[in-house]
Structure 1
Amino acid sequence: MINSIKQEQARKSQELQNQLSQCNNALENSEELLEFATRSLDIKEPEEFSKAARQIKDRVTMASAFRLSLKPKVSDNMTHLMVDFSQERQILQTLKFLPVPKAPEIDPVECLVADNAVTVAWRMPEEDNKIDHFILEYRKTNFDGLPRVKDERCWEIIDNIKGTEYTLSGLKFDSKYMNFRVRACNKAVAGEYSDPVTLETKALNFSLDNSSSHLNLRVEDTCVEWDPTGGKSQESKSKGKENKGRSGTPSPKRTSTGSRPPAGRGSRDRFTGESYTVLGDTAIESGQHYWEVKAQKDCKSYSVGVAYKTLGKFDQLGKTNTSWCIHVNNWLQNTFAAKHNNKVKSLDVAVPERIGVFCDFDGGQLSFYDANSKQLLYSFKTKFTQPVLPGFMVWCGGLSLNTGMQVPSAVRTLQKSENGMTGSASSLNNITQ
C-alpha cells in the first residue's frame, strides 16, 4: 500500500511539473508577441504596418497559450487508494462482547463453621451461563461486623473455584472472626466483590507460661522440652549476681527478713523440685474447649491435663485434688494411667500418637481422646469450683501443642453417649496409687 501511494505521488508530481513547464514556455512566447506588437505601433509606413499586423495575427493564431488549460491535469483525490473495511466492519458489528459479571451474594445461612473448617456458599443474583469461575478471598479479624481499615490482615486468595461453594479445612482459629468475599469471573473480566460476610471462629488459644514453669523445662510458645542443665545454668547465674552484690558486712535488712522467689505471671511461684510442670497462660472459666498434645517419640514420662491456679509449686499433676491428668511412663516399665487426688486408674488402651483434651467447664467433664481415631481414653466427672489452666508435665523428652481448635464434631457426638456412662470419676476414687 505504501509503495502504491509513493508511485501515485511521483506520477502526479511529474505531470504537474510538465504542465508547469508548458505554461512557462507559453508565457515567454506571449511576452515576446506583446513586445513585438508594441514595437509595431511605431511603424509609419502603411505597408510595413500591414505586414507586421499579419505577423501578429498569425502568431496569435498559433500561440500555445490559447490552447493550454490552466486546470491541473491531476487531482488530489486518493479515494481509489482507500482500504475497504466494510467487511471487517460488518464482522465487528456482529461480535457480542461478554458483560461484566454481577457481584455474587454470600448466603450466611448456608455457611458452616465446624471442625476447624469453614464452608462458604454463595449464589448469583441472576442466572449467568457465561461465568467461568469464582475467586474467594478471606482474612482473619477480631472485630465483628464490617471489615475495619486499621490493623487488618491481608486478604488470602483462592482462585479458579468452579462451583458456588468452597470449604477451607485445616484452619487454626487464632482469631474471633473471619471475613469472606467472593467475585465472579468470565473469560474476559472479573466482576465486583460481594458484600463481605463475617463468620465467628472462636476457639481456645493459649501458650505455655514460661514465667512459672520449672527451670528444667525449655518453653517456647506451644512447645516444651526437658532440659537437665536448665536449673544449673539458672542457679549459676543467680549465684553470680549474688556474689557481685555481696559486701563484707551483710545488710541488716537482708539478714532480718526472709526472701521470696520472684513470682511469675499471675503472681504464682515457679514450679520446682520434681514438679516438672508448665501451665497454660489462659484460664478456662466457662464453655467447652479442645486442644491436642503430641509427645516426642523418646519421651520418658509426661502428663497432660488441667489444674487450678492454686496448684502448689512442689505439686505434681494428678497427685492433688486440684489437678486432673493422664500420665504416660516409658521409663523402666510402660504405664498409661489417669490420675487425680493421688489416685491412679490404669488404662488398658494403647498410648496414641496425639492426645486430644476436651474440657467442659460448665458440665464438669474432662475427657481424653485419641486425636486421630477420636477413641475415648478416659473421662473425669467433677465440679470445677475455680478456673482451670491446661497443665503439662514432661521429663526426658518434649511436648508440642496444637491450640486454636474447635471441639470436633466426633467428640461432641461421643460426649452425648459418654454422658450416659457412669463410674469414670467414682471408680478412680476407689483405687489407690
Structure 2
Amino acid sequence: MKSLEHELHCPVCKEIVKQPVVLPCQHSVCLMCASEVLVANGPHPPSPSMPRSPGHGTYPGRRRKEGPPLVMMFPCVPCGRDVELSEKGLTDCLRNLTLERIVERYRHTVSLGSVAVMCQFCKPPQTLEATKGCADCRSNFCNECFKLYHPWGTPRAQHEHIQPTLNFRPKNLQHFTLAADPSFRHFQLDVSKELKLLTELNFIQAPLAPVIDTQRSLAYDQLFLCWRLPQESAPAWHFSVEYRRRGVVPGGASRGGIRGGLAAARWGWQRLDEVSGTSAVIDRLEMDSVYVLRVRGCNKAGYGEYSEEVYLHTPPAPVLNFYLDSRWGLHADRLVVSKEQRGARSVPGLSLLQAADHALTSCHLTSDLLVGDVAITQGRHYWACSVEPGSYLVKVGVGLESKLQEWFHLPQDMASPRYDPDSGHDSGAEDALDSAPPFCFLTMGMDPLTNNNVPSGLTYPLPPRLGVCLDFEKGRVTFYDAHSLRPLWEGHVDCSGPVCPAFCFIGGGALQLQELVANRNADQTPVRRVTIQPRVTNLNNNNN
C-alpha cells in the first residue's frame, strides 16, 4: 500500500493527485499545480536547435515582420527537461480518468481500514471487489453485476447507488416503529366547563313566523294589514311585507295566456321592505281583486319564516267617503250623531214616552231617517258600515234626494216589523210598479238580515260589516258582506236624479260608517263636501 500511495503522488506538490492531467511526456500532474507552474514561468521563444513545425517560415500570405509564435514550456520533474505544450497550453491536455478512479478507490479502501468490500453477486472463485452499493437493495455490486441487476428502463434503475459499505442505514422512517399511539384512542379531556359555557350562551335567533290579525286587517280604500309576533319569538328589527294578486303565478307565468303573462309581469310578488311597526298600508290596488299577503321578520340573525298567507278582497268600485248630515229632520231626543259625524245612535226619547199607548200595543213605531252629505250623480261607488248587533232595526240603502226630502217633510208612522211579515216595505213601488223604486233598503237588526223589497222576506245572517255598491248608470244597488265581499242581494233604484246614501232607524240601534284607511294616521279629518241642499232652500224653490 505504501508503494501504491507513492505512485499516486503529484511530482509537483508531492500529495495525492487531484484532477490529474496527462502531459505530452505521459506523466500526470495536478491541474492546479500545472497551472501555477505555467503562470510562474511564462511563455518562451523557440530555440534555434528546436525543430520547427511546417507552419513556421516564409510562405505566401504571411508577413515578413511577424516572428515565430511563442511556445509554452512545462518543466517535467520526472523527465528532468522542459516539455513543449501546444499554443492552447493545458487546454489540450486530457484528464487521466483512470488515475482518478484509482485514487478514489484507494481513499475508500484506506477509510475502511484496509478491508475490501466484495461483490455479493459474483460467483466464486471470480469474486470481484464491489465498486457500488444500492441503498434500496441494501447490497454491494461490482460494475458488471450492478448493470445486470439494475437494467436501464426498469424501476430498479431508479435505485439510489452509494459507495460500497458494510453498514447500510435506513433510507426512510418507514422502517421505524412508533413508540406512541397516534390514534388518541386512550386520550381523555375534560370539556365540561366548555360545554357549560356553550349552553349558557344565548345566540340570536331569527324571528318566528308572524301571526296576521284577520279581524283588524281589511281592504277598503287602501289595504290595511296588521300582525303580531308570537310570545316565544325573538324580537324583530323590521318586517318585510309581500303581496300579489291571486291567480298570478310568481315569476311571470299566468293562467291567462299572453294577456295573463303581461298581468303576471306586472303583478308578481311585490315587497315593502323595512316596515318598522306591526302594521302596513298598501295603496294603488286594483278594484274587485283578491290579494295574497304574507309577512316575515328580520333581525341580526337574518330573515325568519313567512307567516301564513291571507287573502283580502278589494271593493268592487272606488270607495265613497262621506259623513252623516245632521241638518235634515234630525230629532235630537231620539238620534245622536257622533262628533266626527261617522256614527249615529237611536235612543228612546220623550216622543216615545208620550206615545206610550202606541208603544205598549206595539202597533206603530216612529222611524228616523238619516242621510249622507254627498249626492251621487254618476259612476260606481262603494261604501261600508257596521250595525250594532243589539239594534232593533236599521235600514241601510240609497234613495232619490227629492224623495228623501219629501220623507222628512211628511214623516209617517210605520207598523212594527215584529208583527207585520211584510214589514218596512217602503220602497215606493206601490205607486208605480212599472218604474224603478225611489228607495232601496236592506234591513239589519234582530240578528237576521231582511230584504224589504221582496214580499217573501228573505233573511240572511247578520254580517259584521255591510257593503253597498251603487251603479248610477245602471240604476242598480248591490249589497255585500263587507268582510268577505260575498254578494247578499241586488236591487234597482230610480237614478233619474241625485241619489244619496240613506239610513233609517226603527226603535233603538247604532250605526258606524267604515273609516277610511288613509285617515287612520292622518293628523286632521279632511274637509267634508256637502252637496245636498238644505230644507229652507228647497222650500223657497217650491214657492217660486
TM-score (norm 2): 0.30
Q: Which has the higher contact order (CA 8 A, sep 6+)?
A: 1
Larger radius of gyration: 2
Per residue, is there more helix in 1 or in 2?
1
TM-score (norm 1): 0.37
